[in-house]
Structure 1
Amino acid sequence: MKPLYLCSILLLAGCAPAPKYLVPAGAPHALIRSELVSMENYRNGVSLVEADAIGCKYGKPVATASGEGKQLVSVHKNVSTPEGFFPIEAGKPLHLELRGAANANRSCSISFVSEFAPGARYVIKGGIVDIPGSLSRCYIDIFNVDSGVRVPMANEPKMESNCAQDRLPTL
């Protein structure tokens, strides 16, 4: 009985929700609202997360354990959590990632950098969609609610291929 109980606890621990994104104390913030879609299938889901910071370790680019990777939005059965507007850090570039998963082991992701103006309101549109001629893909657009202007998104930051700042001294 004890091994079965222990296995049950381990299985439940593996299903723990992702840590939630919080605006750092004292940082300026903007408000965003999700209109992301995941297609209406119980196996489909979309999430928007603060992407892991990339650093160098032993000459290779790796994700650093800097406390990032926290979830802003999750979408299941086309219902976004949290609902309505919620705060996001403003006034500095943020590295974000949209992750989509669908039935038949399909997945997609978009990693990008965007900056939000303090006090402004934004809506995030996109998600995972089926397109004729392809299995599925992700797309994302961010708009300023008050002006209707699309927010620029840069590609994800790239590391030097040789991680020169992490060179080990030779003996």
Structure 2
Amino acid sequence: MKPLYSGSLLLLITACSPIPQYETPANAPQAQIRSEMDALFNRRNYLTLSAAPTIACKYGRSVPVAPARQLFSVRGGYPSEPEGFRAIESGKPIHLVLEGGASGNRRCTVDFVSEFMPGARYVIKGGITDGPNVMSGCQVSIVDLDSGVRLFQAKPSAANGCALDRLTPPTP
């Protein structure tokens, strides 16, 4: 019975572990980025901006081979953490994911790809949106601080080439 108990404890501990922090690869060109995201003034609201997990084809299936890496997080009524600028890899496309949550078990996700210019400084704006026509969504924009131009955000590619992912299940 002890192996079952210790295995359950290990599963509980790993399920509660935080997302690892984003670190720029060694010797990679860098840009600077700062967060001005807003989760509104509700203690249950949160936002997390992360570099998406690396997905690869393994045994014919799409599987994450590297975990998501968190850039910024914010809770309702508090400033983004970490504060100030931080380095991000530049000169190549990077897949980012903004995830948010609000009271009433509402969730939103913005999944996009952007490319940062080496040496440039950027600010991330946006967050949870609520209003008479919106039931809780997320929005995000990244602005170049020197030029004031919004950074292009492309949709990520859905195809990864795994043979089993391309199969369609039989229709009943």
Give the TM-score range, shorter chain: 0.7 to 0.9
Identity percentage of aligned residues: 49
Q: Cα 1:118–1:16, aligned 2, differ >3 Å: closer, same or farther?
A: same
- How many residue pairs match? The answer is 160
Q: Give TM-score scaled by structure 1 length.
A: 0.83
Deviations 1:115-147 (A, max 9, x none): 000100000001111121231100000000000
Instruction: Give the C-alpha shift of residue 59 in structure 1.
Output: 4.0
TM-superposition CA deviations, 1:145-164 (whole Å, max 9, x none): 0000111110012216x734
- In 2 relative to 1, CA 48–63 (structure 1 residues): closer, same or farther, beyond 3 Å? farther
Q: Give TM-score scaled by structure 2 length.
A: 0.82
Deviation of 1:103 (Å): 0.8
Runs of 5+ consecutive residues of structure 1 not aligned to the other structure = 1-5
Residues 28 and 40 of structure 1: is their aligned pair in 2 closer, same or farther, counting only changes over 3 Å?
Answer: same
| Residue aligning to 1:81 | 81
Q: After the TM superposition, which of the residue ranges 105-114 and 15-24 deviates more from structure 2?
A: 15-24
SS at match of 1:122: strand
Corresponding residue for 2:33? 32
- Partner Cα separation in structure 1 for residue 49 and residue 37 of structure 2: 9
Alignment of 1:49-60 (within 5 A): 49-60=50-61
Q: Report the alpha carbon displacement of residue 15 of structure 1 after superposing the two structures with TM.
A: 3.3
Residue type matched to 1:100 in 2? Answer: G
CA distance 1:105–1:80, shift in 2 (3 Å): same
| Cα displacement string for residues 56-84 of structure 1 (whole angstroms, at most 9, x for unaligned residues) | 34444x2422x241000001124100101
> Are the equivalent residues in 2 in contact too, given 1:46–1:101 (CA < 8 A)?
yes
RMSD over equivalenced CA pairs, Å = 2.6
Which residues of structure 2 form unaligned runs of 5+? 1-5, 167-172
